[in-house]
Amino acid sequence: MADRVLVVAAHPDDEVLGCGGTLARLAREGHETYVGILGEGITSRHAAGDPPPAGAVDALHATARKAADRLGARDFFSHRLPDNRFDTVPLLEVVRVVEDWVARCRPAALYTHHAGDVNVDHVLTHRAVLTATRPISGCPVREVFAFEIHSSTEWAFSQFAPFRPNVFVDIGDTLDDKIAALRLYEGEVRPFPHPRSPEALRASAQRWGAAAGVSAAEAFELVRWVR
């Protein structure tokens, strides 16, 4: 039986930026992959008293589901924590959402944010995942990996915990799937040289690929691996 894999991301598009190529590869190889998005992902972009257009959050999460389908995910989960304000929510509430997703899909491996990002939602997602997957009896999660997010991890400039990848996944055959999934998020793609441009994503994959001896790769920091 193929392993089950869960991605827990703070915002719609983080799952693609962080491990879209890996998700697509795992799905092709027959693994059951699941995507969970914790935040609504849009309201912080609007001034106080100026909410986003009606239906904007629903539309963004519908796009996230399409992106998950594009990457071959078996199922998609979503919650609606306040965008860039996860620190206004009790951590226990976030932990319980992740615990519910883990209970529903029973993943052996989980991919999530790095702890040193500049975005507070990413940091608290990482912490909630570690709490929800603590290695106690009955927890199915044996592997936890942290990914980078373009325009968040590097913009912390290693002032917090630096991203130190030590696991690399060859995505030479699925890099185009990752970029195609990102293009579904029309409001998130930026022109080069922004880190969320297709050109920057491709360059990053080639850089990590060169470090690992392949044409393109995604990089992860191993948090825990139990065998």
Q: For the chain, give the mean pLDDT.
A: 95
| Domain residue limits, the chain | 4-225
Count the alpha carbons within 13 Å of 148 in the hemisphere toward its beta carbon. Answer: 27
The model's confidence at residue 1, banded by pLDDT at 50, 70 and 90, is very low
Kindly report, residue by residue over 148-202, the tens digit of the pLDDT: 999 999 999 999 999 999 999 999 999 999 999 999 998 888 999 999 999 999 9
The answer to whether residue 120 scores a pLDDT higher than 60 is yes
* pTM, 2 dp: 0.95
Average pLDDT in the 136-149 region? 96
Kindly report, residue by residue over 24-58, the tens digit of the pLDDT: 999 999 999 999 999 998 888 765 556 677 789 99
Rounded CA separation 134/160 (Å) = 23
CATH number for the 4-225 domain, one of 2.60.40.1120, 3.40.50.2300, 3.90.1150.10, 3.40.50.10320? 3.40.50.10320
The model's confidence at residue 131, banded by pLDDT at 50, 70 and 90, is very high
Residues sharing a CB contact under 8 Å with residue 216, sequence separation 6 or more, in sequence order: 21, 170, 171, 172, 175, 202, 205, 206, 208, 209
CB 152 within 8 A of CB 119: yes
CB 217 within 8 A of CB 211: yes
